[in-house]
Amino acid sequence: MPQEQEMTQTSAEMTGSLPTADDAERFVAHAEARLAELNVEQQRAEWVAENFITHDTQVIAAQASEKQINAAVDLAMKAARFDAVPTLSYDIRRKLDLIKLSLTTPGPSDSSRTAEMTKIAAQLSAGYGAARYRPPGGDPLDIEEITEIMRSSREPARLLEVWRGWHSIARPLKQQYARFVELTNEGARNLGYQDAGALWRSKYDMPPDAFAAEVDRLWAQVKPLYDSLHCYVRWNLGKRYGESLVPPAAPIPAHLLGNIWAQEWGNIDDIVAPQADERRFDLTEILKHRADIDEIGMVRIGERFFTSLGFDPLPATFWERSLFKQPQDRDVVCHASAWDLDDEDDLRVKMCIRKTSDYFTTIHHELGHNFYQRAYKRQPFLYKNSANDGFHEAVGDTIALSVTPAYLVRIGLLDKEPPPQSDIALLLRDALDKVAFLPFGIMIDQWRWKVFSGEVTPANYNKAWWDLRLQYQGIAPPEPRSEEDFDPGAKYHIAANVPYSRYFLARILQFQFHRALCQSAGSEGPLNRSSIYESHEAGRRLKAMLEMGASRPWPDALEAISGERQMDATAMLDYFAPLKSWLDEQNKGKPSGW
C-alpha cells in the first residue's frame, strides 16, 4: 500500500544521504508497531485454519501469512541499511538484528513468489493435519489413533502395517516440499544469508557455524549415555521379538520403539523395565481410574503447579477459548501447541488430550509456553519471545521434572512415595523419552540444513534422512525405502516448517534449569527426586528469567536462572548418573554400537 510504503521511508532514503541514529530509531518504532499488528492478524487466521481445516481457512491463513511475510521481508531489507551506523543504542541495534532474523520462512522479494510459497506452506500443514491411513477393509486412522496403536501393540506385523501406512501419507507432499525449499532459500538469500538453514542458525546470538559447533559439543557430552541406553534397549527388544528381527550389533528397527517416529521410547517401558520394578504405580492407570479428573482437570493440575511458584492463574479466556479435546465433527491439527493470540492475555492451548502420563507431561510443557508468554508481555513487541527458542521449549519441561512421586503424593494422585530402590526404574522410564530423543532432536535439522544448502536434493531426500537416522540414532527402517517415499514429511515439524534444534536444546537446558532451581529451593536430595513445587524462591528466579523475554542475549538469561553463561549437559548427566552406572552393568558382554 502506498501509504504504508511512505511510512517506512526514513529521511535518509528521501534525501539519499547516509542513515542516522535518529532514522534508525524512527524506523524501529514503525517496524515494531507494524509487525505487532500483523502478528496478531496472522495468529488468529492460523488458529482458525488449524481448528477448522477447510479450503477457505487455508486460503485465509495463507493470505495472512503472505501479508506478514511480505512486510517482514521488506522491513528486514530496510533494517540492513543501518548496519554501518556506529552510534546506535543497545536496544535499537538489538531490535534491528531481531527484525532481520524474525522470519522462519522468508519470502522472495517477488510478491507473487511469496504468495506461491505461503500457499504451499498452508497446503503442507493442512495436508498433514487431515492425513489418514486407510487400512484395507478398515476405517481410516488419524495420527492420534496411529499413536495409540504404536503405544499399545506388541504385534510386529501390526506395528509394521501402521508404520508403513502412516509414512505413506507423506508421499504426496514431496514435490510441494521441494518447491517450498526453493522459494524459502530464495527469500533467505535476498536477506543476505547463504540459505534458509544459515538464517535459522543465525538466531542464537552467535555466528551460524558457531551454533552448529555448539550443538555438536553438547551432543558429544551426552552421547555415551545414549549409547548405553541404545545397547540395553536393543538387547531387551531382541529378547522379546527374537534376534532375527532385532539382531545384536545392528540398528534397531524403527517400528518397534513404541512411537511412529521412534523419537521417544517410553511406550516400550513394559518390555525393557527391570524385572524387579519397584515403581508400584502407573500414572496412566491412575488417571484413567480417577473419574473426578477429566482432560480439563489435568490442565488445572498443571496450572496449579505454576501458581504454587507464585505465578498468577491463567485468564478466564484461556479456559473458554482453548481446544482441549478432539472434536468429533471436524478435522483439526491435533499436534499440541500453545498460543498467544494478542501478545497480552489471550493465551490458549490446542490439544487433543487423552488421560495418559504422556499427556500429563505435555500439558506442563505447553503451559510453560503460556506462562512464559505472559511473563514477557510488558516487553516491547520485538522482545516478546524467549531468549532463544530452546528456552521456550525448556520451561514447561523443567516444571515436568518436578512431577516426582513425592509431588504426586502431595497432590493426591499417589498414596505413598515409592522406595529409593525404585529410582532406577523411574530413571529408565524418563531416559526412554528424554535421552532417547536427543539424537532425533539433532538429525531433523541436520537433514534440513543439508536440504537448504543443496547438499541433499529431492533425488536423495529419503536416503539422506535414513542415513542420518542411522548415524545419530542407530535406527533403521523396518523395510526397504525408496525415493518415491518421503518419510521426513510424515513428521509434523517438516510439513509445517518448524525448526527443531530448539527441542534438542530444550532437553539440555531443562536439566540445567532444574538443577539451578532445585538448589535455590533448598533441595538436598538426589536431583531426580527433587521438586520445586510450592517454592516461591525458585518461582522468583524463574520469573526473573521469563520476564526478560528476548531483551538480552541468551547467555544473560541463562545466567539469571542458573548463574552460568554456557549451555551445559552435565546437569542431565548428574540426573541420570545412577542409571548410567546400572546400564553399564547390564550391558557387560553385550555388543555396543551399530
* Encoded amino acid at 199, one letter: L
**Which of the following is catalytic: 128, 226, 372, 503?**
503
CA distance linking residue 295 with residue 170, whole number of Å: 30
Does residue 365 have an active-site annotation?
yes
Of 268, 247, 264, 249, nearest in space to 478 by CA: 247
Active site residue 335: yes
* Burial (CB count within 10 angstroms: exposed 0-12, middle 13-18, buried 19+), residue 491: buried
Catalytic residue among 364, 365, 392, 514: 365
Residue type, 219: W
Query: Of 12, 366, 538, 557, which one is the catalytic site residue?
Result: 366
Give me the catalytic one of 72, 255, 393, 521: 393
Known catalytic membership, residue 366: yes
Given 167, 255, 335, 364, the catalytic residue? 335
Secondary structure of 244-266 in HEC code, one letter for each residue: CCCCCCCCEEHHHCCCCCCCCCH
Cβ atoms within 10 Å, residue 593? 10
Is 547 designated active site?
Answer: no
69 with 107: CB under 8 angstroms?
A: yes
Q: Which helix (H) or strand (E) holds 350?
A: strand 347-350
* Active-site annotation holds for 336: yes
**Which H helix or E strand runs over 163?**
helix 156-168
C-beta of residue 510 within 8 angstroms of C-beta of residue 401: yes
Q: Which of 130, 250, 336, 406 is catalytic?
A: 336
Q: At what angle do helices 174-190 and 423-453 cross, to 10 degrees?
A: 70
Give the integer Cα–Cα distance in Å for 314 and 303: 7
Number of alpha carbons in the 13 Å side-chain half-sphere of residue 578: 15
| 167, 230, 369, 514: the active-site residue | 369
DSSP assigned state of 590: S
Q: Which of 167, 255, 493, 514 is catalytic?
A: 493
Q: Residue 394 forms beta bridges with which residues? A: none
Please check whether residue 126 is in contact with residue 53, taking contact to mean a CB–CB distance below 8 angstroms. Answer: yes
492 among known catalytic residues:
no
The widest CA-to-CA distance across the chain, in whole angstroms, is 79
Measured CA to CA, the distance from residue 93 to residue 75 in angstroms comes to: 14
Return the active site residues: 335-336, 365-366, 369, 393, 493, 503
